[in-house]
Amino acid sequence: MRRLLPFLIVGLVALVTLASATVLYRAKRPTLLTISKDRLGEKENGDSAHILGSPNATVTLEEFGDFQCPPCAALCDPLNQLEKEYRPRLRVTFRHFPLVTHAHAQEAACAAEAAGMQGRFWEMHDLLYREQAVWSKAADAPTLFNSYAGMLGLNLDRFKKDLDSDQVKTRVASDQKRGVELGVKSTPTIFVNNRELAPTSLNPADLRKKIDAVVKEKTLP
């Protein structure tokens, strides 16, 4: 027994160390969010979210984005392409989540909503991301937003009025409130069929794999 004692002690220490490492890993591993069932149908009527694709698509990709966020800009074209590739099985939903650390993010969100009041939300959405490097560094971003509205053929007087309207500000605030309630803290945050994707998977290849998996799951008998 005495001969076995050192081996038993070493084995016990190894087990304790492994258990401790497992607990530490789980503590540090990021917790991915899931939209609970009691919030799935929320805001169906008068929803402030903007939908690209078929409203009846079996797969919904919901993005919380900030127009001044470079990673969000990098995802703009890939998400547009994915929606086209998977049409009519995929719809892309955008919600505003302007970060306080970005000086012009709130103004940009309002500009997109003001364009949306004239049916051009997605055009302004794409333009803001494409020109992000310009307006995000400008001293007078609203002047550039006005010029973008002109480029899109919007009624400028109405655009300027809507830009500062309570209706536009409320729509942006409503999206942000939903994000906060869901636990969103950064951008981009993306849910696919109500389950948050890991930040490391927010690239075209991994997004395609995830969408493929969900599409396959939905088509199984």
Q: What is the mean pLDDT of each run of 10 residues along the chain (221 residues)?
A: 48 45 43 52 55 94 98 97 95 97 97 98 98 96 97 98 96 96 97 96 95 84 57
Q: How confident is the model at residue 216, as a pLDDT?
A: 85
Q: How confident is the model at residue 32, as a pLDDT?
A: 63
Check residue 34 and report its DSSP letter: B
Q: How confident is the model at residue 30, as a pLDDT?
A: 52
165 by Cβ neighbours in 10 Å (0-12 / 13-18 / 19+) ranks as middle
pTM, entire model: 0.80
Q: How confident is the model at residue 20, as a pLDDT?
A: 45
- What is the three-class DSSP state of 90? strand
For residue 2 the two structure tokens come to 């005495």
Q: How confident is the model at residue 57, as a pLDDT?
A: 95
CATH architecture of 46-219: 3-Layer(aba) Sandwich (3.40)
